[in-house]
Structure 1
Amino acid sequence: MSSKIEDSVRRSYGSKPKYTEVMPGVPEDYTQVKTLGDLLKINYKHVTVEEQLRGNLVAKLKAGEHPYPGIIGYDDDVVPGVNRAILSGHDVLLVGQIGQAKTKIAEAIAKNLLSPIPVVRGTVTNDVPTTIPEEHMVALLSGGEVVRTVPEFTVSRECEDIVRQDKLETKIDWLSGADRFKYILSTPDISVKDLVGQIDAIKIAKKGVELYSMESYSAGQLLQARHGILCIDELPVLDPRKQVSLLSVLQEGRFTTGAYPVIFRPDVKIIATANPIDYTHSGKIIEPLFDRLKSHVDTHYPKTVEDEMLIIAQETKIADTKNVFLPVPVVKAIAKITQMTRAHHDVNHDKGVSVRMAVHSMEMMVGEAERTRSIILGVKAVPRFSDMHCIHQSSKFELAEMEDTRENRRNLLNSVIDAALKEVSLEYVEKVAPEQIANMKNEFAKNKAFQVSQVLPGGKKGDSDYESQLARFPVLKQAVSDTAGTIKEEQKKFAERAKSLGISSPSIAMQDINGEFTATVAEIVLEGLRHIQPPLLDKKDNSYGLAE
């Protein structure tokens, strides 16, 4: 029996694969390969992380596919830089301020460019059984003793025990790239043991194993990310001693646990991130590590309002998507507020203003629309300009040129909100004909004022709702209707653009929302009439009336 097993292992290890690859290292019918015996039958050959990343990227580029769906606004600079690094087999340092999708890029690489791999079920360190040396595999399957000439392990002791017990029936699971992505946020309490593992005193006490037995070892993040990607966020925060522990992995592809005489080859790509301030500060990243992270790629904030809007559409979390509609002008206003805040001379540019401010503000607007109207009135949640005050709760930035107090931040944000609403509303109102504006002046002279409030219904529910008020302003009503038509066309194009990028957001698709949409458009038109030259309207409290 042992002779038969030995012949089977040697034939499998020494022969070419019996399958066609659909991805690097992935047989065409890999889901049917469920045991170690199945792997040996098809002469399975493991493909390294570097080969997986390169092979899958090459395939996507040949097919004209975007290798990182969901990464927006980086096609001209960051994506080519990342692609060059992967094709060159480099570990990467992403340099950029908060909220520039650095971690998201690392996740996208793992998800889209790593092939599924067969790991022994029940192992923590992603053990691929066919990476076990041929002689060791024969010994494990035939009940013999594994003889090591060097203290190097290709799989964990748990994996060896499972193979020894279950032999050819050893169960395997195909692990996706996303499942082989490990993330570490660098904090002062991160230890060398967290990174490279430790000798576990509890294991020694419970199992009675010897200090230098493989059984006494507990894997750190490096081995838990095995055959995958380890993302180290804010690398400069790690003190030099901890950074040193990564050097042998980057230089030789292996590491040891200090004085522990065992060698591991994790087969892992490291993608680290750093803030530009820390990146340029002498000594923040030790020089040997700085040098061995071969590719340094600079990230940036969205350069256009449309890119910021698309990120908002993609990242905004909405609990009840069927009951929410995000009008393009409101999304645009949030994007402009974020970009204006980011560029403001009184804002700390070193700290930056994260894209998360835009995303969280959009989520806050939805919550406010639900709180004030949707839940109480039983209508769809459609954010309006009158909801905009709520974003103070979600807007995070620091001041540099003035005292960084809550009051100063509030005043600055209010001025930015006013400027953004002016820009957005004028985009639409400047299309209103001069004669319509003249006739609206007569309407306001007669009817005095138009009431706006986040608690007023859009559709007819009395005399003070938006549609009932518009009935008393026929020319204004026509301008609102015309503007609504313009916005609907813009909404359709925006939804199509988002769909072309793989963004699935039902809340940006045009819907039959009647009065609530009318209220949103009415507020846009009324706000714009404040800013035309000469101004037609003034706003006092919640009322628009003729400008004096």
Structure 2
Amino acid sequence: MTRPSTLGALRHSRHHHRSVKDEIRDNLIAALSGGSKAFPGIVGFDDTVLPQLERALLAGHDLVLLGERGQGKTRLMRTLVGLLDEWTPVIDGCEINDHPYAPVCARCKRLAAEAGNDLPITWKHRDDRYGEKLATPDTSVGDLVGDVDPVRVAEGRTLGDPETIHYGLVPRTNRGIFALNELPDLAERIQVALFNVLEERDIQVRGYNLRLPLDLLLVASANPEDYTNRGRIITPLKDRFGAEIRTHYPVEVADEAALIRQEARLAAPVPDHLLEIVARFTRGLRESPAVDQRSGVSARFGITAAETTAASALRRAALASENDPVARVCDLPGTLPTLRGKVEFEMGEEGREEEVFAHLLRVAVAETFRERLRGLDLAGFTERFVEGATVETGELTRAEDLLEQLGTVPGLAKVLDRLGFEDAASRGEAAAGVEFVLEGLHLTRRLAKDSVDGVTVYGAV
């Protein structure tokens, strides 16, 4: 449809002006009633965070998301844009997106009085109605609210003219959603500048006699340690937020694995059982007393681990001329050195980081092995080693070479089925399944294992 381009045409179309919070409320109700996903891409919050968020939005509250690093706070804030109307009318050329029915800035009021129904309007997409700022100590009031524009003053306007104001990020997101990441890092004197935005819904710029009513939803994120222990958010500002919502890491292993699968950019196929190992490994770190839990273990840890595991498979394909690179258990240890910087260890654990990583990785593999292959007869594998046979593998061992050493194994088809591979599993997928079984049998003390310089040999106990 052709959208109205003047105020008169907009009135003739019977367009109804709603506030941003009314838009969000109506669209959220429609999504909930229709059974559609209001917050796409958000994993593991369905029964905890999202109900609280929905209540806050339906109540029309500005809100703070509290959570450790890597819990998806920014991702969650950005999904709120989908609850705005897809298109909304604004006065053409307005810096703060004034609605044609209710202009608030001096320029638009003047134009509306001069042009009447011929006032030109344009249409703004909801993606352009979202503003975001990482709150840093050097952020100024001018950045957020606005300041005098010396260029406009130099053009001949007087300092008292409201049109000499250069608007900051908050008013430029008028009639939209403004997100402040890491609010506690904002200097306290700058936090004061947000008082009027949250309570009186307006801004003040320097000494101007200016009241600029704003229509927006303000969302902020904060780390609980900064928020509660350091007291970095001043009390009056905390009081002005309508809702405080606590986020968390995925509770279920399946959710953690699904999140990794969703967010990771994998250079080579990584089977589901390996993603589950990575998910369990990540959870193990979050529960380990050797790790500083106040800083948390970000979801980005698991995502990076999966990406590095895939890269290891791709490296093997290049170096060993493997035609079907699929990540295997042997690719996991190579990810550990690059992940150390993502975890903060307790002071007393200095020098033991690699030992902690290796132990928790073994635990994750063993737990996944028991969960995935529980009750399955694996005698076909162990019988191969009774007479002294061995199988050599490693990060540069091709899938073809690994399968050739083992030969035909009774029960392999059932193993591959349990691991989610299709009937016609590729050689790379079959090798991934075989190596997972061999490592699991070793960790459950049914096979011996000897590793030297990246080469692993499995044999009878």
After TM superposition, the score normalised by the length of structure 1 is 0.77
Q: Could you tell me whether the CA contact under 8 Å between 2:91 and 2:100 is conserved in 1?
A: yes
Q: Which residue matches 1:230? A: 178
Counterpart-to-counterpart distance in 1, 2:419 and 2:263: 22
1:539 has 2:450 as partner? yes
Shift of 1:217: 1.2
Counterpart-to-counterpart distance in 2, 1:386 and 1:68: 37
1:172 has 2:122 as partner? yes
Q: Could you tell me whether the CA contact under 8 Å between 2:20 and 2:84 is conserved in 1?
A: no
Shift of 1:244: 0.9
Q: Which residue matches 1:143? A: none
State the secondary structure of the residue aligned to 1:189: coil
Q: Of 77, 80, 83, which aligns to 2:54? A: 83
State the secondary structure of the residue aligned to 1:182: strand
Residues 1:254 and 1:163: Cα distance change in structure 2 (over 3 Å):
same
Q: Which residue matches 1:412? A: 356
Q: Of 271, 274, 284, which aligns to 2:232? A: 284
Counterpart-to-counterpart distance in 2, 1:530 and 1:291: 57
Shift of 1:47: 0.9
Residues 1:239 and 1:435: Cα distance change in structure 2 (over 3 Å):
closer
Shift of 1:422: 2.0
Counterpart-to-counterpart distance in 2, 1:364 and 1:258: 51
1:456 has 2:392 as partner? no
Residues 1:435 and 1:399: Cα distance change in structure 2 (over 3 Å):
closer
Q: Could you tell me whether the CA contact under 8 Å between 2:320 and 2:396 is conserved in 1?
A: no
Deviations 1:218-247 (A, max 9, x none): 111101211111111121221221111111
Shift of 1:115: 4.8
Deviations 1:155-211 (A, max 9, x none): 4638966996898373512321x3211111111111111110111113322x22221
Q: Which residue matches 1:325? A: 269
Q: Could you tell me whether the CA contact under 8 Å between 1:82 and 1:297 is conserved in 2?
A: yes
Q: Which amino acid aligns with 2:45?
A: Y
Q: Percent identity among equivalent residues? A: 29
| Runs of 5+ unmatched residues, structure 1 | 1-28, 133-153, 460-464, 490-509
Matched length: 457
1:527 has 2:439 as partner? yes
Residues 1:451 and 1:120: Cα distance change in structure 2 (over 3 Å):
farther
Aligned CA RMSD, in angstroms, stands at 2.6
Shift of 1:121: 4.7
Q: Which amino acid aligns with 1:545?
A: Y
Deviates more, 1:68-77 or 1:32-41: 32-41
Q: Which amino acid aligns with 2:457?
A: Y
Counterpart-to-counterpart distance in 2, 1:333 and 1:162: 62
Counterpart-to-counterpart distance in 1, 2:114 and 2:320: 64
Pairing 1:225-374 to 2, within 5 Å after superposition: 225-281=173-229, 283-318=231-266, 324-373=268-317
Q: Which residue matches 2:97? A: 126
Q: Of 202, 222, 228, which aligns to 2:151? A: 202
Counterpart-to-counterpart distance in 2, 1:122 and 1:539: 71
Q: Which residue matches 2:402? A: 466
1:400 has 2:350 as partner? no
Q: Of 407, 410, 413, which aligns to 1:481? A: 413
Q: Could you tell me whether the CA contact under 8 Å between 1:365 and 1:391 is conserved in 2?
A: yes
Q: Which amino acid aligns with 1:485?
A: D
Shift of 1:535: 2.2
Shift of 1:457: 2.2
Q: Which residue matches 1:506? A: none
1:426 has 2:381 as partner? no
State the secondary structure of the residue aligned to 1:190: coil
Shift of 1:129: 2.3
Counterpart-to-counterpart distance in 1, 2:76 and 2:206: 32
Q: Which residue matches 2:36? A: 65
Q: Could you tell me whether the CA contact under 8 Å between 1:36 and 1:172 is conserved in 2?
A: no
Q: Which amino acid aligns with 2:240?
A: R
After TM superposition, the score normalised by the length of structure 2 is 0.91
Structure with higher Rg: it is 1
| Runs of 5+ unmatched residues, structure 2 | none
Counterpart-to-counterpart distance in 2, 1:376 and 1:215: 68
Q: Which amino acid aligns with 2:241?
A: L
Deviations 1:384-436 (A, max 9, x none): 111112323135110125244xx432332122112212222333454442643
